[in-house]
Chains A and B, each alone.
Chain A
Amino acid sequence: MTTGVAITGVGAVTARFTGGAATVSAFLAEPSPVHDAIADERLVALLGDGEARRLSRVCQLAVAAGRLALDDAELRAGDDVGLVLGTEFGDLRSTVEFADGYLAAGPPGLSALIFPNTVMNTMAAATTIATGAKALSLTLNAPTVAGELAIVRAAGAIASGRARAVLAGGVDQIDPFLGSMLADLGAGEERRGEGAVMLVLESASSARERGARILGEIMGTASGALAARPHGVGRSTQSSVVAEALAAASVELRHLGAVYDSTSGDRGRDHWEQRLLDTALGAGHERRSSLRRLIGAHAGAGALGVAAAAGAARRSGRPSLVHGIGRGGSQVAVIVGP
Chain B
Amino acid sequence: MEPKEVLDDLRTIFVTRLRFEPHRVSDVTLDTPLPKGVDGSVGLDSLDFIELSLAIEDRFGLVMDDAQDLAPHFASFRTLCAFIAERATTA
A interface residues with partner B (beta carbon < 8 Å): 50, 53-54, 105, 108-113, 116
* CB closest chain-B residue, reference A113: B51
Is the CB–CB distance between A113 and B57 below 8 Å? no
User: Which listed residue, A50, A53, A108, touches B54 by the CB 8 Å rule?
Assistant: A108
The smallest C-beta distance from A284 to any residue of chain B, in angstroms, reads 55
Choose among B18, B43, B58 the residue that contacts A113 (Cβ–Cβ < 8 A).
Answer: B18
20 A-B pairs (CB sep. < 8 Å): A53-B19, A53-B21, A54-B19, A54-B48, A108-B57, A108-B58, A109-B58, A110-B54, A111-B17, A111-B51, A111-B54, A112-B47, A112-B50, A112-B51, A113-B17, A113-B18, A113-B47, A113-B48, A113-B51, A116-B47
Contact residues in B for A54 (Cβ distance below 8 Å): 19, 47-48
Most buried by A among B19, B43, B48, B50: B19
Q: Are A50 and B43 in contact (CB under 8 A)?
A: yes
CB-nearest residue of chain A to B49: A112
**Tally of chain B residues near chain A (CB < 8 A):** 13
The answer to whether residues A53 and B58 also contact, given A111-B51, A112-B51 and a CB cut-off of 8 A, is no
Which residues of A lie under 8 Å from residue B50 when comparing CB positions? Answer: 112
Q: Determine the chain A residues whose CB is within 8 A of the CB of B43 once the complex forms.
A: 50
Nearest CB on B from A106, distance (A): 10
Chain A neighbourhood of B20, CB < 8 A? 53
Mark interface residues in B4-28 (1 if CB within 8 Å of A CB, else 0). 0000000000000111110000000
Q: Closest CB-CB distance, B46 to chain A, in whole Å?
A: 10
Most chain B beta-carbon contacts within 10 A, residue among A50, A53, A109, A112: A112
Q: Which of A109, A112, A113 contacts B19 (CB 8 A)?
A: A113
